Structure 1
């Protein structure tokens, strides 16, 4: 009969991917206040908000894709 007392369940360590960071409430409040102040100035001068997508088609990136010697440098590909 196997000894199950020594077997522990695998628990992956929580960590942020490279280039990403968690933001705490204090920093979020400060960031929101700054963005609101700047947005008000832009709106007073006739600018309107624009929210662009976080994903782009690879062919739209063109020459900005990594070199062939660094194919995965900062680019994540998803199948369409």
Structure 2
């Protein structure tokens, strides 16, 4: 039997959107982290630091989810 391996376009676009969100978070998180660590004497130091760390963690999560979704769209068996 011949297996048909076609890329599912809808799932691929979903994965690319997740990678786009990841790219945005990869710039925003470290930038906020740098701003927070440079201004450690300001009153918003702790909330900004927490927000920056959450954004960095979300960037890693969206990277994993995006790559996983793209792999599913390419190698899923119908």
Indicate whether the TM-score tops 0.5.
no
Instruction: Provide TM-score, normalisation by structure 2.
Output: 0.30
Instruction: Provide TM-score, normalisation by structure 1.
Output: 0.29
Larger Rg: 1
- Which structure is higher in helix share? 2
Higher relative contact order (CA 8 A, sep 6+): 2
